[in-house]
Amino acid sequence: MVLSVCVRVVCRHIKESRSVSAALSRYCTSLVTESVVAAPDCTETEPRRQTTDRQRLLRAAVLGVPNAGKTTLVNQLLGRKLFAVSPKRHTTTRNVVGVFTEGDHQVILMDTPGVVPYQVGRKLRAPKSFLTGPHRSLMEAEFVVVVVDASDKRQRHQLDVEVLKTLARYSHVPAILLLNKVDAIRHKHVLLEITESILESTHSWMVEEGRRREQRMKMSPELRNESGAKADVYCGPTREQGALPAAAVESFGKVFMSSALTGDGVQDLRDYLLSCTRPGCWEYSATEHSDQTQMALVEDIVREKLFLHLHREIPYVLTQGNVVWEKEGDTQIIYQNLTCRSSNQASIVIGPGGRTVQAITAEAKTDIEALLGCPVDLTLNVRSQK
Ligand SMILES: Nc1nc2c(ncn2[C@@H]2O[C@H](COP(=O)(O)OP(=O)(O)OP(=O)(O)O)[C@@H](O)[C@H]2O)c(=O)[nH]1
Ligand SMILES: [Mg+2]
């Protein structure tokens, strides 16, 4: 199976667009030129970090609708399961950083909550981090990987409009497209159709968006928020309102196809990200894999099990609180409160004869032991607010 498809194959169908391979080669040339002129001075970084002037860095945001497989992909790229994954939407509610380092190259991956319209976020009563996460990640990113669930027949032929708006807003950030879940597609030729359709529709949308911006500028030059969403959703400078730059219209430098579940095709993307690093001081040591503390990662593991075992609104409204985190000999003792909104919810979490919470505890314990590399004594105490 062809896992990495150059946009060249399908881009010839896109009228008005210049060759993407040319754009890509221009981009690569600029990276090479920069590497000649801009050797980093990393001598000021923290002593625990090994520093050399050959260090290279890339900050990449991972963007997409809920359930596209963003977190599964990030875990695969990291080569370890750090962040919670579940079949339920909105498993990720805030930005988290995963890091992998190879030789002199460090890639910082920003996993983000699924992009949703502002109104949907409000309806879900989601925390602010949920709504602002994707935007913040793009403000910090030098690169964005747009993940599409290629197995989703309803949505796979064009990018979600909120994703498009986000890309248009941060059109200076180079983007690549990743068709995920290719293992769930029997006839692989469909992948080329999907690629072609997404490239064409994205291109048209961007051209149209450029026109819309011009119109808005004419009508109301002081208009700053082009998405129509409430301004407080976003944190950061608004992009200029004129026509979109050509790079945004071209949209994607490259298209990849992967199964984040099986790992198929992920190495191609990993190699590509490493090849896109630029001279720059590492932000993490070579042995660090995340910006999250061990305690936060453990909470995430428990959260994943809650999502897997509980249904409807319960896993979303439960709150977790670490009460005990201490070492006794080799063993890590962890005691966590799971606070439910009502006693009815609490009895569902406990389950008949305590079986649900026991299963959650057993599964979480196995994963936590793998993460911490030591025996774990885990207690989950279910209680209710009322
Ligand atoms: N078949 C298949 N399933 C996948 C693949 N990647 C992810 N999944 C499944 O898709 C579901 C959602 O995966 P996540 O990684 O949590 O998706 P996400 O985009 O991070 O979702 P949110 O955090 O809710 O935005 C899980 O059940 C994954 O096992 C894939 O390549 N193939
Ligand atoms: Mg996620």
Distance, CA of 320 to CA of 28 (rounded, Å): 45
Whose Cα sits closest to atom 8 in ligand 1? 69
Whether residues 245 and 330 share a domain: the answer is no
What pLDDT shows up at residue 23? 36
Question: Which residue numbers in the chain have pLDDT < 50?
Answer: 1-38, 44-45, 47-48, 226-241
Look up residue 249 and give its two tokens: 């219209």
Whether 59 and 146 share a structural domain: yes
Asked whether residue 284 is domain-assigned, the answer is no
Residue recorded with tokens 């009508």: 219
Residues 267 and 363 in one domain: no
Q: Which among 279, 306, 324 is the end of a domain?
A: 279
Give residue 292's pLDDT: 97
Q: What is the rounded distance in angstroms from the CA atom of residue 87 to the CA atom of residue 96?
A: 19
Residue pair 121/104 in contact by the 8 Å Cβ criterion: no
Rounded CA gap, 334 and 376, in Å? Answer: 7
Closest CA to 304 of 53, 121, 81: 81
- Residue 318 has a pLDDT of 93
Question: Residue 194's domain spans which residues?
Answer: 4-279
Q: How far is the CA of 375 from the centre of ligand 2 (A)?
A: 27
Q: Is any ligand 1 atom within 6 A of the Cβ of residue 90? A: yes
Tell me the residue type at 356.
T
Residues, CB within 5 angstroms of ligand 2 (ion): 71, 91-92
Cα four-point dihedral sign 243, 61, 91, 196: positive
Same domain membership, residue 363 and residue 329: yes
- Mutation choice for ligand 1 from 67, 163, 262, CB with most ligand atoms inside 8 A: 67
Q: For residue 239, what is the DSSP state? A: P
Specify whether 244 is located in the same domain as 333: no
Q: Is residue 288 one of the residues assigned to a domain?
A: no
Residues 193-210: pLDDT tens digits?
Answer: 999 999 999 999 999 998
Verify that 204 and 62 share a domain, yes or no: yes
Structure tokens at 320: 């977790």
CB 71 within 8 A of CB 77: no
- Cβ of residue 121 lying under 6 Å from some atom of ligand 1: no
Residue burial 109-146, b: 16+ Cβ < 10 Å; e: rest: bbbbbbbbbbeebeebebeeebbbbbbbbbbebbbbbb
For residues 346 and 219, state if they share a domain: no
Burial class (CB in 10 A: 0-12, 13-18, 19+), 249: buried
- Pick the residue whose CA is nearest to atom 6 on ligand 1: 69
φ, ψ of residue 341 in degrees (nearest 5): -75, -30
Proximal ligand: closest to the CA of 87: 1
The first and second tokens of residue 316, run together, are: 């979303």
Measured in Å, how far apart are the chain's first and last C-alpha atoms? 55
From ligand 2's centre to the CA of 208, what distance in Å?
Answer: 30
* Tally of domains in the chain: 2
Which of 254, 279, 304 corresponds to the end of one domain? 279
Give the residue whose CA is nearest to atom 10 of ligand 1.
69
E strand or H helix at 322: strand 319-328
SS3 65: coil
Whole-number Å distance, alpha carbon 87 to ligand 1 midpoint, is 6
Same domain, 299 and 268: no
The length of the chain is: 386
In terms of domains, do 273 and 345 share one? no
Find the CATH number of the domain harbouring 191: 3.40.50.300
**Atom of ligand 1 at shortest distance to CA of 262?**
31
- Whole-model pTM: value is 0.84
- 85 with 176, same domain? yes
> Whose structure tokens read 């004419």?
218
Residues 261 and 362 grouped into a single domain: no
91 Cβ inside 6 Å of ligand 1: yes
Q: Which residues contact 195 (CB under 8 A, 6 or more apart)?
A: 5, 9, 10, 177, 179, 255
What are 231's two structure tokens?
């301004």
Nearest CA to ligand 1 atom 24: 90
Answer whether 137 contacts ligand 1 (Cβ < 6 A). no
Compute how many other C-beta atoms are within 10 angstroms of the C-beta atom of residue 74.
28
